[in-house]
Amino acid sequence: MSQRRDTMNVIERDTDLRGLLLRPLCAKNMKPTVPEIEGLVDREQLMGFTGRGRREQIDLALSLGIKEADIPTPAGGCLLTDEHIAGRARRAFKKAAPAIPGLAELRLATVGRHFSLTEDCLLAVSRSKQENELMSGMQYPGNTFLRMQAVPGPLAILRGTAGPDELALAAAICLRYTKRRGEDGLVAAYGPTPACDQGRVAAPVMSEEAVRALLIDLQA
């Protein structure tokens, strides 16, 4: 994405999103979009930032309780320029149609390896300590956290309908991403928070081929 008005107009034209592409930080400097005209978005709640300076954005973040030290430096731009994240976001919008996906679905799209357990159940498995920390903050209704017990490994989130079969499958996938992936008799814990204190489920051994068959992003 670009901050230049002419390039922004080209993006709107070439994506066939004329009148639909809403830019919340500079909206008051642009013509009202269809979502604003139809009352889906309150234009008065949008911003009118201009220029390349970040002060207005930083002040907004501070007003929302974000510490300035936690605000990342600009490097990489919009997450939707990542083809995998964009694909996940696209799937989230398609699944939610005609409504729109919530914050839980869109935040989950930015982290982890994603697996399709069933049509109604998605599993995201963290890839690093940093992602473990990010996912720990995603405590939304409908999310079930899962991690291995007594075995260092990733934090995972099940999103959607997670019954006993889905929990066991998620445990098997999480086990696959530990150093004890071939051991029988290991257990995963799960629950509505990262404490995973609601219950336990056996983690069956699963082959790499079987795990990868469920992986949505084959490059992950």
Tell me the pLDDT tens digit for each residue of 155-196.
999 999 999 999 999 999 999 999 999 999 999 999 999 999
Are 187 and 140 in a shared domain?
yes
Cα angle 191, 126, 142 (rounded to 5 degrees) comes to 35
Give tens-digit pLDDT for 93-127. 998 889 999 999 999 999 999 999 999 999 999 99
Strands (E), 46-155: 113-118, 121-125, 143-148
pLDDT value for 219: 46
Give domain status of residue 90, yes or no: no
Identify the domain containing residue 152 by its residue range.
111-214
**Could you tell me the pLDDT band of residue 6, with boundaries at 50, 70 and 90?**
confident
CB 215 within 8 A of CB 127: no
pLDDT value for 218: 52
Q: Which residues contact 143 (CB under 8 A, 6 or more apart)?
A: 104, 108, 157, 158, 159, 192
Give domain status of residue 86, yes or no: no
- Tokens at 94, concatenated: 């398609």
**What is the average pLDDT score of the chain?**
89
How many structural domains compose the chain? 2
Question: What's the rounded Cα separation, in Å, for the pair 101 and 192?
Answer: 20
Give domain status of residue 160, yes or no: yes
Taking the complete model, does pTM exceed 0.75, yes or no?
no
Sheet (strand 187-191) strand order: 113-118, 121-125, 156-160, 143-148, 187-191, 199-202
More confident residue, 80 or 39: 39
Are 115 and 197 in a shared domain?
yes
User: Is the pLDDT assigned to residue 77 strictly greater than 90?
Assistant: no
Give domain status of residue 171, yes or no: yes
Least confident of 3-12, 14-23, 28-37, 129-138: 3-12
Are 126 and 169 in a shared domain?
yes
